[in-house]
A and B are shown apart, each in its own frame.
Chain A
Amino acid sequence: MDASSIVAPPPSGRNPGRSLHRFANPGRFLRLSGAVLPWLAAAGTALTAVGLVWGLFFAPADWQQGDAVRIMYIHVPAAWLASAGYLALALCSALSLVWRHPLADLAAVEIGPVGAGFTALCLLTGSIWGKPMWGAWWVWDARLTSVLILFFLYLGHIALVRAFDDPVRGYRSGAILALVGVVNLPIIKFSVDWWNTLHQPDTITLTGAPTMFVGMLWPLLFAALGYTLMFAAIVLARTRAAVMERRIRALLMARADAAAA
């Protein structure tokens, strides 16, 4: 039996977010995500594997950093996803506050731990790279410190949404924290320009040509795209599970009420 067939139909009635509700009601979400998820997971795994194997065995070593440069193929995608994940969390929070959409609430709750995991990966791999290159596991550099604050923002959001007996109050409080924390994203992005940091400036920008050897750029792009698809697949799977768990609770409550009556 398809789980999506058990999920309740979308709420009817006119409101400003009606089209959003129509396209993101839980039943339709389960059907669409069920079709997309296997392809997303397979593509993410394959591209990540290609990027990491290429980066580890076939990309050239750096003339200054030696083979430690290969850590970049994990560290840079993790750093991109730490910020992009938080942006997605903030977008879901805005949707939650404006349209009170339950799917946005669930997505925000499920993005939090995954984003925190990728931020931790960014910090750990950066630290592992820093020891042989800078001679220290950690320095209180503006880029490192602002990413550490991002990690704490994720942890704060994870704790806050689970801190209330009424889940809706948790969702609202978490959404406000997520939107306030967005101010940290431009600080992370421009920290290497605003302050004299040990961390190197961006080598890939949207407006200019990359200042990186093309033999290193391609595996980095493969790894970045693969990790991004994996991130999306993990969040999608967690959100699907959360939608079904919510429906299970509702069905069990209804059954308990019927038994008591």
Chain B
Amino acid sequence: MTHLPYVAAAYVLGVAIPGTFALMAFLRMRAAQRRLASIGRRRR
């Protein structure tokens, strides 16, 4: 494969940047869900 370091770097970024955003969004959503549910239980 020609230009292998360039292609590899691009694919690493292409997976890492959206993957990091997706993971952070998922963790933030799960944390908010748990917090909201625990507050809801305490209200009852």
A binding-site residues for B, Cβ under 8 Å: 1, 3, 5-6, 41, 48, 52, 56, 61, 66-68, 70-71, 73-75, 78, 113-114, 117-118, 120-121, 124-125, 128-129, 131-132, 227, 230-231, 233-234, 237-238, 240-241, 244-245, 247-248, 251-252
Contacts and interface: CB of A to CB of B under 8 A. Distances in A.
20 contacts: A3-B32, A6-B40, A66-B3, A67-B3, A68-B7, A71-B7, A74-B10, A74-B14, A114-B21, A117-B18, A121-B14, A121-B17, A124-B13, A227-B18, A240-B29, A240-B32, A241-B28, A244-B29, A244-B33, A248-B35
B interface, over-half SS: helix
A56 B25 contact: no
Top 10 nearest A-B pairs (CB, nearest first) are A74-B14, A66-B2, A244-B32, A237-B25, A68-B3, A71-B10, A241-B29, A241-B28, A6-B40, A241-B32
B11 A56 contact: yes
Contacts of B35: 244, 248
A3 B32 CA distance: 9
Contacts of B10: 70-71, 74-75, 124-125, 128-129
Interface of B: 1-4, 6-7, 9-11, 13-15, 17-18, 21-22, 25-26, 28-29, 31-33, 35-37, 39-41, 43
Contacts of A131: 6
B25 to A, nearest CB: 4
A188 B10 CA distance: 22
A238 B42 CA distance: 25
B22 A230 contact: yes
Contacts of B37: 1, 3, 6
B41 to A, nearest CB: 7
Given A67-B2, A241-B32, A234 B21 contact: yes
A interface, over-half SS: helix
Contacts of B36: 3, 6, 244, 247-248, 251
Given A52-B11, A67-B1, A68-B6, A121 B39 contact: no
A78 B14 CA distance: 9
A113 B28 CA distance: 14
- Most interface-central of B18, B39, B40 (chain A CB within 10 A): B18
A67 B33 CA distance: 45
Nearest to A1: B37
B26 to A, nearest CB: 6
Contacts of B1: 67
Given A3-B37, A245-B32, A248-B39, A70 B7 contact: yes
A75 B33 CA distance: 34
